Amino acid sequence: MMMFKNMTDLEDSFLKATHHWIQDEPYCVAVSGGMDSMVLLHIMSIHFSNIVVFTFDHGLRDDTHKDLALVQSFCDEKGIDMHSAKWVSPSRKRLHEHARVARYQAMKDFCTHRQCKFLLTAHHLDDQMETIMMRFFKGSGPMGLRGMTPFQKLSPNLTLLRPFLDIPQSIIFEYAQKYSIPYIIDPSNTHQKFWRGQYRYHKDIFISLGLKYEHILHMRRQMIEMTDFIREQVQEAEHRIVTTSEDGHSFEYKKFIELPTVIQRKLMQKIIQDTSGFTYPPSYVFIQKLVEKMTSSDLFKPMTIQTCWIFKKNHIFKVSVSKSDQRRRQKQILS
């Protein structure tokens, strides 16, 4: 990990991360109005000309119009095209999870509409630590403890880019102060009703107990090595036993049960995510229960996970998009 000493390192790291980016390519920058995303927008406006801003209003605060107004003002000053969307029916259960899913779906839809192949977010090193710690406390496996990656495929035609991922937030703060970049402070970021707020409140305690960037990143590197090996094994198994068609994926029961359990689970995660088109794979708990049912008895009852219909016929497992989701997608195409 690069050791950051000042704000010059921020721009150096950004230029290093983006040196291979195509200058004329349209880039969509996700901006909330918070400090991190406003700094990202500021730097992008300096080094790239073909950018568009997308803001998502979760509707969870009464004053979110101020966030939109600030971003709009900055974009007007720089001559940047800005678009926004609002979460119409926010769920009150598992609020942050549903909000994240809705936000990413809205961003994906917008990028598809604008034919943007790249979406940028301002996730930084402190976000990385929080994500890994949150997943650790929730019992995530090696894949979850990898944390976030500098780039991530959201769809065949859209890649998520995180150019600040190796940068501590303290450096971003210094940059924002030096260049007087306006931003909104969201009080929910430190609200102890949510896990991240609790973590931030108790962060000094973790640091006093020895928590360091280096320790988290060392663990992350080990998880990457482990999961990369597993991914290779899953790809090999998929190539060897899975048949792909317009209807979905299929494979023989006999060949599937011969695979190691961990490969069975990871293969099913991949197949379901590929079939459904969801940004994230189904949870490990669901997959564990699914594979147990698939391998424990010849009498497998059909199941639906992430709009995927999973069933068994003549010793062949099949995974396809459910009929209701097929109708929904057809309506979207016709409209």
Is residue 237 in a domain? no
pTM assigned to the model: 0.76
Whether residue 208 sits in one domain with residue 256: no
Average pLDDT of span 29-38 = 95
Q: CB–CB of 134/42 below 8 Å?
A: no
Segment 290-301 mean pLDDT: 88
Domain boundary among 195, 212, 229: 212
Among 54-58, 109-113, 181-185, 191-195, the range scoring the smallest mean pLDDT is 191-195
- Please compute the mean of the pLDDT values over residues 277-284 and round it to a whole number: 83
Residue ending a domain, choose from 212, 233, 268: 212
90 lies in some domain: yes
* Among 35-44, 132-141, 180-189, 209-218, the range of highest mean pLDDT: 35-44
The pLDDT confidence band at residue 191, using thresholds 50, 70 and 90, is: low
Residue, of 121 and 25, whose pLDDT is higher: 121
Same-domain pairing of 249 and 198:
no
Average pLDDT over residues 230-245: 96
Domain tally for the chain? Answer: 2
pLDDT digits (tens, 9 = 90+) for 71-122: 999 999 999 999 998 887 666 666 667 778 888 889 999 999 999 999 999 9
Sequence-separated (6 or more) residues with CB below 8 Å from residue 235? none
Average pLDDT over the chain reads 86
CATH number at residue 247: 3.30.465
Are residues 207 and 252 part of one domain? no
- For residues 320 and 311, give the distance between their C-alpha atoms in angstroms, rounded to a whole number: 9
Is residue 232 in a domain? no
- Over residues 8-24, the mean pLDDT reads 80
Q: What is the DSSP letter of 164?
A: T
DSSP 164-181: TTTS-HHHHHHHHHHTT-
Q: Tokens for 88, please give them.
A: 């119409």
Does the residue 119 lie in any domain? yes
Percentage, residues of the chain above pLDDT 70 = 88
Whether 172 is covered by a domain: the verdict is yes
Task: Evaluate whether 188 touches 197 at the Cβ level (below 8 Å).
Answer: yes
- Which residue range is the domain that position 257 belongs to? 242-334
Res. 162 pLDDT band, cuts 50 70 90: very high
Answer yes or no: are the C-beta atoms of 81 and 72 closer than 8 Å. no
Verify that 128 and 248 share a domain, yes or no.
no
Instruction: Measure CA 331 to chain center.
Output: 27
Q: CA-CA distance, 95 to 92, in Å (whole number)?
A: 5
